[in-house]
Amino acid sequence: MPNIILVGFMGTGKTSVGRRLSRCLEMPYLDTDEIIEQSAGRCITDIFAQHGESYFRELESEAVQKISGLDKHVISTGGGIVLRAGNLEILKRNGLVFCLTATSEEIWARVKNETHRPLLKAPEPVEKIRKMLEAREAYYALADYTIQTDGLPIEQVTDEVIEVFQNAINSR
């Protein structure tokens, strides 16, 4: 059984959907951001503040390497994991990749009360999100499936992923 890999911008619901998928399908759950924090012994905000984004991207690629041999897991990833081509290539070897999407306005509404996303600390956050989405569009398009999440509850997004996943493995 392949992994279910969730990619997509910050605030598209990867963690909540991933945890629910894990419960519904009885597949263990992993999150690349958590793997990075555990091995670095620091939170993402501190890693960005002390070493910058490119160092964080190195740790992110190391986390992908670490989990590359797994199967039958639900794996949520950080929103920028797609930026290094090799990461998605490795994740696709043992998994089906689902990209969760939402508009910049909806993303901001979901994340504005949270403090752990250094890249969204900007004077005009919706504009920053819009620009980042545009810059990343081509990378997110490399996912196997795209699931639109605007206005949808976690349960509905989860059910949709399950349906697509089950159809995909049944037709293999």
Site residues for ligand S3P per CB under 6 A:
10, 14, 33, 44, 78-80, 117-119
Q: At what angle do helices 53-66 and 32-40 cross, to 10 degrees?
A: 110
We find the least distance from the C-beta atom of residue 92 to ligand S3P, in angstroms, to be 19
Is residue 90 within 8 A of residue 64, CB to CB? The reply is yes
Nearer to ligand S3P, 41 or 172 (CB): 41
Nearer to ligand S3P, 141 or 169 (CB): 141
We find the least distance from the C-beta atom of residue 70 to ligand S3P, in angstroms, to be 19
Q: Could you give the C-alpha distances from 2 to 26, 59, 99, 145, 168, in angstroms and in order?
A: 13, 24, 16, 14, 10
Q: What is the dihedral of CA 142, 143, 146, 150, to 10 degrees?
A: -90
We find the least distance from the C-beta atom of residue 164 to ligand S3P, in angstroms, to be 21
Nearer to ligand S3P, 125 or 168 (CB): 125
